[in-house]
Structure 1
Amino acid sequence: MHPPAHARAVIIGGGVVGCSVAYHLTRRGWREVVLLERKRLTSGTTWHAAGLIAQLRATANLTRLAKYSQELYGRLEAETGVATGFRRVGSITVALTEERLEELRRQAAMARAFGVEIEEITPAEIGARYPHLRLEGVTGGVYLPKDGQGDPSGITMALARGARNGGASLHEQVCVTGFRMNRGRIAAVRWEAGGETGETAAEVVVNCAGMWAREVGAWAGAAIPLQACEHFYAITEPIPDLGSLPVLRVPDECTYYKEDAGKLMIGAFEPRAKPWAVDGIPPDAEFTELPPDLDHFEPILEKAVHRIPLLQRAGFRTFFNGPESFTPDNAYHLGPTPECPNLWVAAGFNSVGIQSAGGAGMALAAWMDEGEKPFDLSDVDIARTEPFQRNRRYLAERVSETLGLLYADHFPFRQKATARGVRRSPFHAHLAARGAVFGELAGWERANWFAAPGQTPEESRTWGRGPFFDNVGRELRAFREGVGVYDMSSFGKLRIEGPDAERFLNRVLAADVAVAPGRLVYAQALNARGGIEADVTVARLREDLFLIVTGAARRRADEALLRAALREEERVVITDATAAEGCLAVMGPLSRALMQRLTAEDVSAAGMPWGTVREIEFGLGLARVHRVSYVGELGYEVYVSADMAAHAIEALFEAGDEVGLRPCGLYAMNCARLEKGFRHMGHDITPEDHVLEAGLGFAVALEKGEFVGREAVLRKREAGLSRRLLQFRLQDPGPLLYHNEPILRDGRIVGHLSSGAYGHWLGAAVGLGYVPCEGEEIGALLASEWAIDVAGQRVAAEASLRPFHDPSGARMRA
C-alpha cells in the first residue's frame, strides 16, 4: 500500500531512531503519523549496532535521556509482545593509566550527582567480576550494575509495533526523492515506490535518515553535518564456559567486549577512523557490509587477544565492518532545523544510537508537541552547528578524529586537532605573533592562553595543573591589577532593525529594551516556564536598530530563536553581522588610561558611564565602544569594522606596551567571570533554570507588559524559590574544579556544579551550582556545612549568594 496523500508528520528513515520518534508521537496522541523507509526497517546502520545500552553520559540531560531509553526497553517487550533482547548485565570500564583512573573517579562522582548507581572497584574486584581479563597494567575501574545490552533489530521492531498500535503507518520500500517547497517550508514529501511516484503533503517532516541525513537536509537547504565512518568489530565462535559477563570497556586500548549467546564481540574505536562514501552513499545500499580491512583492525585486535587470553584459542566467526554516522562534536543532532522551520532532525548518533534512541524519540516528540524543549537539549540541538560544517572535506577530516574520541581521554581542555583554521578573527595573526595558543569553537580559532617566550605551547593532557596554569594566572592578574586584552570577535553579533524592532524585542526578551540610543541592556529570552533560552547584551544603536551580542556557541541558536519568534506582520530584519566586526575586550584598572592614549574623546566615568555605547575616534580610525565587562573589572569592548581591525590592534599594542598591556586568552576570561559569579549560558543558565532562581531577577522588567515567560516569573515570585544558584570556593587551594562535581550539604549530595575553574586571584578553585532551598532563609542555607566531591574526595567549601570577587560591582562600574 502506498503512503497516504496527507500526513501530520512524515518521518524519513526506519531505523531505531525513526521508529522511536513514530512511537513517541503516537503516545502523545498524534494521528496521521507516516514513516517512510527506502528499503527495510533497520537496513541502514541499526541492524549491525552492537546494542550496548549504558546510562551514564557526559551531561545530566544526556544521562536523563539514556536512563529513559533503559527504562523504555525494559518494558517494551511486555507492552508490544516483540522480543527486544534487553538484559541488565552491568558494565565495567577499566583504566590502564593514572590519568584514566582520575577520569573514571570524576565520572563516578558525576554519576552519583546524576542519580546513577555506580561503584568504584579495584583491580582485584574487576578480576572477580570479569575472570577472563588479564589484569596487567589495570589501575582500577568502575562498575555500573544497571547498564545493559539488547538486540537492536528487536528493539526497533518493538518500537515499530508500538507505533503501529498507536495508529502510525510504516511503509517500507518507499524511497523519498525530495521535497516540494513553499515559501521556505516543506509542503510535501516526494517519493518513489514500486516504479510509481507520488507525494505526501506534510505539516512537519522528521529527518531520521541516519547517514543519509545530510543529503535529505540539503533538499530543504538545511545543513545537517554528519559523515559515515567505517566501524569494526569481531565475533568469536562459541566459547565453552564463557559464562554470562558484563559489558567490558578498555578505553585505553580502544576496545569494548560484549558477551552474547556464548560468543564474545570485540569492538573498536580506533584513534584514526576511516570515513566512508564521502561523495555520497551508493543508492542501493542496504544492510551494507564493507570489506573487513584486517590491516586497519589488527593492531587493536592484537591488544584484545593479549588482554583477554582466552581469545588466543578461540576461533573467530566474523570480522565485521559497517558504516555508522558521526558528527563534528560527537553529539547527535536533534530539533528543528534553523533553515526550514517544519523540518526536524534526529540523526548522527555517533555509535550510541541504540542507547540514545528511546530518549531522543521521547524528547523530540515532546518538543514537537509542546512547541518548546521539554528540558535543556542544548548539547544536541541542531542549532548549535554552523552551516559551513556541511562541507564534505571538513566532515571527512573531522570525523576521522571524533570516532576515536569516544574512547580517548576526555581531558577538560582537550582540543580537536583536525579540520582546524576554518574561521579566524581579523586579529588572529597579531595574536599568534605574541604567543597565542588557539583552541576551536564553532569553527573559530580562539586564543585560549598565551605562551611565554621560549615556552612550548603544549596541549593540556592532564586532570591536574596543565602547562598553561601559571600563564592563565598571570593573565588573570592583568585583569585585576593592570590591563589585559582578549579577542571576542567570535562572539555572535545580530543586527535587529526596522520600525517594529523595539516592540519585537520587548516581546521576546524579559528586559526592557525601550532605552535611549547609546544604552546597553542585559537580557534573557525565557520560555513559558521561566527557563532561560538565551542570555545576551542588547545595544541600542538607533531608534530602529539594535545589536545583540551573544556567545560564539550560541549565535546560531539565538538567531533561530529570534527568527522563529518573528511574526509575519512585524517589520523587522535580522542580520548576522558576526564576521563584519572584530572586537577587543580591554579590561582592568588601567584600561581607562590606555583607552585615553588612543582617543581624544572622554572615556571617563562621566564621559562614558557604565552601560553606554559610543562611537569614538580610535587610533587613526573609528570604533564603537561598549562600556561593559564579563571579567568583573573596569573595561571596554572595542568593536571595529573588519577593514580597520589590523590598524586597531596595532595601535592598541603600541600604546599598551607603555602601560604593561598583556594579551590574555579565554581561559583567563572564564576564570575571571567565575570569580565574579557571572553566569555562562549553557552551563549555569539553561532552559531548565528559572530566571529568578538563577539570580537574574534584576534583568526582568515585569512592569513593561507582556513578554514570553512573564506569567512564570509572577508565579515563581508568588510561590518562592525552590532552589538557588550559589557560588562555591574550595577551602583547600590544591584541587581543581571543572563542572558536574557533586555538591554536598551536611554530608548529603544536593546538586552538582554547573561550571568550575581555578580562581587564581581568590587562591582556590571556584564554581557555581544550584541547590534546593524551598522555604529556607538564605542565612540558614549558607550556614550549612558545604563540600564538593572531587574525584571521590570531599573537599570543604564556602558557599555564597554574592560574588566572592567585588560583590558590590564597584570595580567594573568605576
Structure 2
Amino acid sequence: MNTIPRSARAVIIGGGIVGCSTAYHLARMGWTDVVLLERKKLTSGTTFHAAGLVGQLRTNANITQLLGYSVELYNRLEKETGQATGWKMNGGLRLACNQERWTEVRRQATTARSFGLEMNLLTPSEALDLWPLMTVDDLVGAAYMPTDGQANPSDITLSLAKGARQAGATIIEDTEVTGVTLEDGVIRGVMTEQGPVECEKVILCAGQWTRAFAATVGVNVPLVSMEHQYMVTERIEGVTSNLPTLRDPDRLTYYKEEVGGLVMGGYEPNPIPWAVNGIPEGFHYTLLDSNFDHFEQIVELALGRVPALQTAGIKQLVNGPESFTPDGNFILGEAPELKNFFVGAGFNAFGIAAGGGAGMALAEWVAKGEPPFDLWPVDIRRFGRPHFDTDWVRTRTIEAYGKHYTMAWPFEEHSSGRPCRKSPLYDRLRAKGACFGEKLGWERPNWFATNGMEARDIYSFGRQNWFDTVGEEHKACREAAVIIDQTSFAKFTLKGPDAEVALSWIAANDVQRPVGSLIYTQMLNDRGGIECDVTAVRVATDEYYIVTGTGFATHDFDWISRNIPRSMNAQLVDVTSAYCVLSLMGPRARDVLEKVTGSDVSNDGFKFGTSRVIGIAGCPVRALRVTYVGELGWELHLPVEYATTVYDALMAAGAAFGLRDAGYRAIESLRLEKGYRAWGADIGSDHTPAEAGLSWAVKLKKDIDFKGRRAAEHQRDTGVKKHLACFTTDPQIVLSGRETIYRNGVRVGWLSSGGFGYTLNRSIGYGYVRAEEAIGFDHVLSGNYELEVATKRVPCSVHPGPLYDPEMKRVKC
C-alpha cells in the first residue's frame, strides 16, 4: 500500500475516467499537489465495463463543445503519454426508419452545423456502403458524423492517469476515503484508511457511489444505479476495424466493432434499477449476472437490423450497473450546500464520450472558481427539492433511461413522479381543462383544453394539437385579460441591516431605490456574464423580495448567498412555498382589479415598476406592476391559504371583461413578440448585458461598484463581437431553437429560442449574430439573412427591437 501525503491542494475521490481526467487537467494547469484516491483499482467501479462509444452532438452548444474537446484530447493522448487508449476516430452513423425520425435527424444535422460540426445526411444505400452488415429495407436515411469514434475505456483512463502522474499529480489505489473533515462548515480535509489528508477542496468523482458519499456532508447528488447490458460477439465476417459506430434509435440499439466482432447494446423501455437498498459492501471489478430474458427484447430488435447476429458466436453478455440521472444529463460543479466540494458524476452510460471534456471543465471550475463556459444543462444546481427523495429520483430516472433512444419531441414532458409539487389551484385548474407541464417538481398549466379537447399533448415536429388553443389564450391576453397561475416562481427574501449594500454589490442594476420600487436586474460574474435574471422588490429599508424562474431556484439562491460579502449582515431565505402567484395580464387587467380592491390601481396611483400591498377578498396581496407578456398587468403574490379565494374573486369580476385562464405556452409566445429574454436560452453566463441588448439595466452611469462592473466597462469601451437579434420568417416554418443563422450566406450563429407569434402571424426566433471583430448593431441590421431549418434554408427578416408595441396596439414587422 502506498503512503499517502498528509496534505494536498485538492483531493479527488474516485479513479474512473472522470476522476483521472480531472487529475490530468489540474496537474497540467500547475496543480501538482493534487491527490487522487481510489478505494480499489483504477477503473474498477463502472468505467471498466463501459461500452466506449464516443459521440459529440447534443442539443446544447457548450455540451457539444465539451464532448468535442474529449475527441480532441483522445486524438493526441496516446502519443503524449505513451499509453495505449484504443481510440479510433472511425465515425458514427445514426439511422432513421420513419419520416418523423428523419425530421429529427435533419434537425440534428442543422444543429451540428450551428455548432460547427460536420454531419452528413446519407441515403440508405450510402449508409449501407459504410456499414455493409445491416439491412436497409426500412431506412428513410441516415446521418454520419466523421469525427465520432470509440475507445477502450480502461486504456484511455489509464492513459489519463499516466498523463496526470507525468504532470505531477499523485494517484494512489487501494485507499478508501471514509469521510470529509469539516470545521464550522468548512472543508479541512478527508479521512482515509491510512489517516487524514488535509485539503481545502474535495472533488467527488465516485460514480454510482457519489450520492451516498455526498449525503454524509449534506450534499445532494441526484443519481441512481441502473442495470445496463450489452453483448460481445465472436468474430463476424465483414466486420472491419474501421467500421463506424452505429446507433439505431428506432430499434433502441447501438453497435461498435471489437476485435473483429460486434458490441451490441441498447436502452430497453423497462430498465431494471440496481442496488435499491444500497450498493453491496466491497463491490468492485464486478459484473452482475447476465439477464438473457430481459435482453431478449433488444436482441429481437437487433436481429432485424444485423442478420449476422443470428449465427454469431456470443462471447459474453455484459451486465454492469451504471449511474443515471433524472434528466439524462451528467452532473458537474460546486455543490450549493458546501463550498469547495465539487462533483463529477451521473454520466448515463456516456462517461467515456464526456470524460475528457468533463474533467477539463471540472478542473477549471476547481482552479478558477467557475467553469470555462456556461454548463447550465449539467450544472448540479439545476436540481431542487424533489431530488432529495431517492424514490422520486429513481422513478424519474427509470423514465429518462427508457427514453434514451425514443424521439426527442419539442415540448415533451416527463410523466413519472407526478404530481409532486402543486399550487393550491391545481385541482381547480385541472377541472377547467388545464394540461400541466412540470418543472422542478412543480405542476404548471401549459394550456387549457376547450371545445371538448382532451387535455393532453400530442407530440410532433409540426404544429402540435394545442397550437390553436394557445393562440386563443394569446389573443385574450392581447385584447382582454388572462390569469396565469405562476405559483412555481422561486421567491426569496434578503433581509438585514446590510441588505441594500449587499444587493447593490450583487445586482447590476440600481437597487438603491425607495421602498415600493420594483427593479429588474441581472447579476453578473466577473467576466460580465449574466448569472441571474431576477426581479427585486424593495419591501422595507432592510428587506428585498426577489423573484426568479422556477428552474433556477437552487442556482440563484446559491449565487446570491455565496456573493453576499462576509462582512455584511444580510440573510437570504427561500420563501417559495409560502406564496402563491397569480399573474393578471391584458388591457382589461385594471378593470378586473378595480372590481376586487379598494386600492387605487390607476396608472397615476400605481405606476409601472412599483409594488404595493392591496386587499382582495380579505387577503393582503403584494401586487407587482410588471409584465413578461408585453401588456398592462400585475403579478399578485399572496399567502397560499388565500389562493382559491382570490382566484375565485378575480374570475368572477373578470367575466364581464373576457378574463380567461392561460398557461405557459401562451407566455412563451407573448414574450417572443415583445422581445423579453429567457435565462438559460437567450441569456446566460456566457452572455453579457451589452451583447443581449440589456445595457439599459446596468448602472454604469452611477458611482456604485458591483460584481462584474470592470468587465461591463471594458465591453462598453471596446465593443462586443456578438449581438442578440430577432428574426421572423414564414408562419409555416416551425422554429424551436438551434436553427442556423446565415448572414450574407455565411454562418454567424444559431437561434437560442424559437416559437410563434400569433399577433404577428409569423414564426419568431432569437439568436446571437457573431463576428471575429467588434460590431455594432448596424452591422447586424445591414445583412441579408437566412435560417437553416432541418437542413433547408429559408429567408428571414431581422429586426432592431420588440415586434409588438402594446401602447400603439400594432406590430413592427
Structure 1 and Structure 2 fold alike (TM over 0.5):
yes
CA distance in 1, matches of 2:173, 2:582: 56
In the alignment, structure 1 residue 145 sits paired with structure 2 residue 142: no
- Residue 438 in structure 1 maps to residue 433 in structure 2: no
Equivalent residue for 1:222? 219
Q: Is the 8 A contact 1:223 1:387 kept in 2?
A: no
Shift of residue 453, structure 1, vs aligned partner: 4.2
Q: Distance in 2 between matches of 1:70 and 1:173?
A: 30
Aligned residue number for residue 198 of structure 2: 201
548, 551, 554: which one pairs with 2:549? Answer: 551
* Aligned counterparts of 1:185 and 1:431: Cα–Cα separation in 2: 46
- Give the counterpart of 1:601 among 595, 599, 602: 599
Please list, as runs of the form range in 1=range in 2, the aligned pairs for 1:444-483 lying within 5 A after superposition.
444-483=442-481
Q: Tell me the secondary structure at the aligned position of residue 729 of structure 1.
A: strand
The residue type paired with residue 227 of structure 2 is: E
CA distance in 2, matches of 1:454, 1:345: 49
Q: Which shifted more, 474-483 or 180-189?
A: 180-189
Separation (CA, whole Å) in 1 of partners of 2:810 and 2:711: 34
> Partner amino acid for 1:95?
A
Q: Structure 1 counterpart of 2:355, which letter?
A: A
Q: CA deviation at 1:670?
A: 0.8
Residue in structure 1 matched with residue 321 of structure 2 by the alignment? 323
Structure 2, unmatched stretches of 5+, are none
Q: Is the CA contact 1:684–1:754 (under 8 Å) kept in the aligned structure 2?
A: yes
Q: CA deviation at 1:477?
A: 0.7
Question: Is residue 616 from structure 1 mapped to residue 614 from structure 2 by the alignment?
Answer: yes
- Counterpart residue number, 1:18: 19
Distance 1:163 1:390 in 2: 34
Give the distance between the partners of 1:564 and 1:288, measured in 2 at CA.
41
Residues 809/171 of structure 1: CA separation in 2 closer, same or farther (3 Å cut) = farther
1:234 aligns with 2:231: yes
Q: Which residue of 2 aligns with 1:582?
A: 580
Q: Does 1:500 align with 2:498?
A: yes
Task: Tell me how far apart the structure 2 counterparts of residues 438 and 329 of structure 1 sit (CA, whole Å).
Answer: 18
User: Corresponding residue for 2:284?
Assistant: 286
Determine the C-alpha separation between the residues in 2 that align with 1:726 and 1:562: 29
Give CA-to-partner distance per residue, 1:602-660, whole Å, 9 cap, x none: 11111110001000011232211000000011110001101111211121222222322
Residue of structure 2 equivalent to 1:734: 732
Q: Which amino acid aligns with 1:124?
A: S
Kindly provide the amino acid, as one letter, of the partner of residue 122 in structure 1: T
Question: How many angstroms does 1:372 deviate by?
Answer: 2.1
SS for the counterpart of 1:772 is strand
Structure-1 residue corresponding to 2:400:
402
Contact 1:625 1:638 in 2 (8 A): yes
> Alignment partner of 1:658: what SS?
helix
1:580 positional shift: 0.5
Q: Return the offset for 1:704.
A: 3.3
Q: Which letter maps to 2:215?
A: A
**What is the CA–CA distance in structure 2 between the aligned matches of 1:310 and 1:478, rounded to whole Å?**
60
CA 1:330 to 1:64, structure 2 compared with 1: closer, same or farther past 3 Å?
same
CA distance in 2, matches of 1:494, 1:417: 29
Residue 82 of structure 2 aligns with an amino acid whose one-letter code is G
Partners of 1:328 and 1:256 in 2: CA distance: 22
| 1:711 counterpart SS class | helix
Matches within 5 A, 1:519-538: 519-538=517-536
Same amino acid, percent of matched pairs: 44
Give the root-mean-square deviation of aligned CA atoms: 1.4
Could you tell me how far apart the structure 1 residues matched to 2:799 and 2:451 are?
Answer: 39
Question: What is the CA deviation profile of residues 297-336 of structure 1, one whole-angstrom value per residue up to 9, with x for unaligned ones?
Answer: 1011111012111111112111111101011111111111
Q: TM-score, normalised by structure 2?
A: 0.98
Alpha-carbon offset, residue 801 of structure 1: 2.0
Is the counterpart of residue 184 in structure 1 residue 185 in structure 2?
yes
SS at match of 1:541: strand
Partner SS for 2:690: coil
Question: CA, structure 1 residues 721+242, in 2 after alignment: closer, same or farther (shift >3 Å)?
Answer: closer
Is residue 173 of structure 2 the alignment partner of residue 133 of structure 1?
Answer: no
Contact conserved, 2:97 with 2:139, CA < 8 A, in 1?
A: yes
**Paired residue type of 2:393:** L
**Which piece of structure 1 moves more, 573-582 or 701-710?**
701-710
Q: 1:539 aligns with which of 533, 537, 540?
A: 537
Output the amino acid matched with 1:802.
G
Alignment-derived partner of residue 704 in structure 1: 703
Judge which range, 691-700 or 718-727, deviates more: 718-727
Give SS of 1:722's match.
Answer: strand
1:120 counterpart SS class: strand
Contact 1:105 1:120 in 2 (8 A): yes
Amino acid at match of 1:33: V
Aligned equivalents of 1:387 and 1:341: distance in 2?
Answer: 19
Deviation at residue 272 of structure 1 after TM alignment: 2.2
CA separation of 1:810/1:601 partners in 2, compared to 1, >3 Å: closer, same or farther? Answer: farther
Cα deviation per residue 1:115-153 (whole Å; 9 max; x = unaligned)?
101101111211121111111221111000111101100
Aligned equivalents of 1:780 and 1:332: distance in 2? 39
Q: How does 1:82-121 map to 2 (within 5 A)?
A: 82-121=83-122
| 8 Å CA contact retained: 1:186, 1:220 | no
Matching residue's letter, 2:377: D
2:794 alignment partner in structure 1? 795
CA distance in 2: counterparts of 1:115 and 1:4, whole angstroms: 44
Name the counterpart of 1:350: 348
- Give the Cα separation in 2 of the matches to 1:181 and 1:489: 37
Once the two structures are overlaid, the 10-residue window that deviates more, 123-132 or 211-220, is: 123-132
Displacement of 1:788: 1.0
> After the TM superposition, which residues 147-162 of structure 1 pair with which residues of structure 2 at under 5 Å, given as runs?
147-162=148-163
CA contact (8 A) 1:496 1:574 kept: yes
Task: Name the SS of the counterpart of 1:692 in structure 2.
Answer: helix
Measured after TM superposition, the shift of residue 780 of structure 1 is: 4.8
* In the alignment, structure 1 residue 561 sits paired with structure 2 residue 550: no
1:21, 1:250 → 2: CA distance? 32
State the Cα distance separating 1:776 from its structure 2 match.
4.8
Structure 1 position 572 matched with structure 2 position 559: no
Whole-Å separation in 1 of the counterparts to 2:547 and 2:38: 43
Please name the residue that 1:637 is paired with: 635
Q: Indicate the residue corresponding to 1:41 in structure 2.
A: 42
Aligned letter for 1:680? Answer: A
Return the alpha-carbon distance in structure 2 between the equivalents of residues 402 and 482 of structure 1.
40
CA contact (8 A) 2:719 2:775 kept: no
Tell whether the 8 Å contact from 2:447 to 2:665 is kept in structure 1 after alignment.
yes
Secondary structure at the aligned position of 2:689 is classed as coil
1:470 CA displacement = 0.7
Which one of the candidate residues 752, 756, 770 is aligned to 1:772?
770
Between the aligned partners of 2:808 and 2:419, the Cα distance in structure 1 is 38
Instruction: Decide whether the 8 Å contact of 1:512 with 1:704 is kept in 2.
Output: no
State the SS of the aligned residue for 1:499: coil
Aligned 8 A contact 1:40 1:173 in 2: yes
Q: Provide the residue aligned with 2:784 in structure 1.
A: 785
Equivalent in the alignment of 1:69 = 70
Give the counterpart letter for 2:703 in structure 1: K
Deviation at 1:793, TM superposition (A): 1.2
Aligned to 1:805: 804
**Pairing 1:481-496 to 2, within 5 Å after superposition:** 481-496=479-494
SS of 1:379's partner is helix
Spell out the pairing of 1:167-178 with structure 2 (5 A cutoff). Answer: 167-178=168-179
CA distance in 1, matches of 2:574, 2:270: 36
Contact 1:214 1:390 in 2 (8 A): no
The total of aligned residue pairs comes to 807
Contact 2:521–2:533 (CA under 8 A) maintained in structure 1? yes
Provide TM-score, normalisation by structure 1: 0.97
Write the distance in 2 (CA, Å) between the matches of 1:370 and 1:342. 12
8 Å CA contact retained: 1:278, 1:392:
no
Distance (whole Å) between structure 2 residues aligned to residue 204 and residue 173 of structure 1 = 21
Per-residue deviation, residues 460-479 of structure 1 (Å, max 9, x unmatched):
32111111111111111111
Which residue type is aligned with residue 395 of structure 1?
A: V
